[in-house]
Structure 1
Amino acid sequence: MIVRIMGEGQFEVAETDLPALNDLDARLESAIETGDEDTFRGALRSLLDNVRKVGTALPADSLEPSELVLPPVDATIDEVRGMLGDEGLIPG
């Protein structure tokens, strides 16, 4: 699965890594619902760090279609709230 972190690049992430990403996504969603800025910042950072850790960065000149698009680390709660779907940022 190709995951794009806005403003950063694309990463190829194995399907087997999605459950861990979904857990982090749930933490992020919970922080958004409660409006807890500190928890939101930590959850977003953890989610993006995990994508970088488990994913393989694609070359900068690669233009693969992204299956998931994640916000940049400096995104606001309102920006991320606008990106949420029915299943959070990461479906599944």
Structure 2
Amino acid sequence: MIVRIMGEGQWTLADSHFAELNKLDDELLAEMEGGDEDGFHRTLGALLDAVRRLGEPLPDDSLEPSELILPAPDASLEEVREMLGDDGLIPG
């Protein structure tokens, strides 16, 4: 799966990594619902770091369709709230 981090680029991730990403996504959603802005920023950073650590970056000149788009590291709680689907940022 190809994942885009807004403002940074794209990574290819194996489906086997999505259990870890979904756990972080669930934590992020709970922090957003509870209004925990510090926890939200901490968990968003951990989610993006996991994508960078587990994924293989695509070349900057590659423009592949992204199957998942994640917010930039400096995104606000409100900006991310607008991006959320029923399952959080990561479906499933």
Runs of 4+ in 1 over 3 A off after TM superposition: none
1:45-90 deviations in whole A, cap 9, x for unaligned?
0000000000000000001000000000000000000000011000
Instruction: Count how many residue pairs are aligned between Structure 1 and Structure 2.
Output: 92
Gaps of 5+ in 2: none
- The RMSD of aligned alpha carbons is 0.4
Q: Percent identity?
A: 60
1:7-66 deviations in whole A, cap 9, x for unaligned?
000000000000100000001101110111110010000000000000000000001000
- Please give the secondary structure, in 2, of the residue aligned with 1:72: coil
Scaled by the length of structure 2, the TM-score of the pair is 0.99
- Please give the secondary structure, in 2, of the residue aligned with 1:61: coil
Scaled by the length of structure 1, the TM-score of the pair is 0.99
Gaps of 5+ in 1: none
